[in-house]
Amino acid sequence: MLLKGLLIGFAIAVPVGPIGLLCIQRTLQRGRTSGFVSGLGAASADAVYGGIAGFGLASLSGLSLGWRQELRWLGGLFLLYLGGRIFSAVPTERNPAPRSTDLLGDYASTFVLTLTNPVTILAFIGIFTGLGLAAGEPNFTAAGLLVLGVFLGSLLWWLLLALAVGALRQRLTPAARRWLNRAAGAVIALFGALALLG
């Protein structure tokens, strides 16, 4: 079950969407720690939704899906805000270590953004049902191992991404990072606009 969870968590995290772009941009802007902590927020939200699906908490998943439109609007507005901030961010010549308050914000923002994406819970329910993991009486030990695996698999992806992008960061000039900020900010804001229009 732990291995299954690892594979599910990794597969859920790999597609590059707004969260992936945000982690890449933060790694380029502030370093690997910021990118990894942002990924940790997304992995934590994946674990929450994995728990909802794995433990068969139908009432919570129903509540989440019932507020689907409101969650999409909240996430869309937040993405527009983040996109604007990233677009106008100016890279510094030096690379100071991120402060604990910055890291807390990195974690919280990706945690909330991942939770406000109703597609995530649908993906988990679909995968768990397809694998026969959501049927019958819940086995709490197996479900716990599965959720732990989901968290670790998702976290593994974010660690690999932060390490890879962090290695690239050393080769980029501040001017190149400024253009990457603008591109990432525009794409993240586009995701936000699409969420509001959807």
> Exposed, middle or buried: residue 135 (CB in 10 Å: 0-12, 13-18, 19+)?
exposed
Domain count, the chain: 1
Tokens of 115: 């939770």
pLDDT tens, residue by residue, 88-139? 877 665 555 667 778 999 999 999 988 887 667 667 766 666 666 555 555 6
* Residue (of 28, 20, 24, 23) closest to 171 by Cα position: 28
Q: Domain range spanning residue 140? A: 2-197
Instruction: Quote the CA–CA distance of 84 and 186 in Å, as a whole number.
Output: 8
Distances (CA, A) of 162 to 11, 27, 58, 128: 17, 6, 34, 28
pLDDT tens, residue by residue, 143-170? 788 889 989 999 999 999 999 998 888 7
pTM, two decimal places = 0.76
Instruction: Quote the CA–CA distance of 176 and 51 in Å, as a whole number.
Output: 41
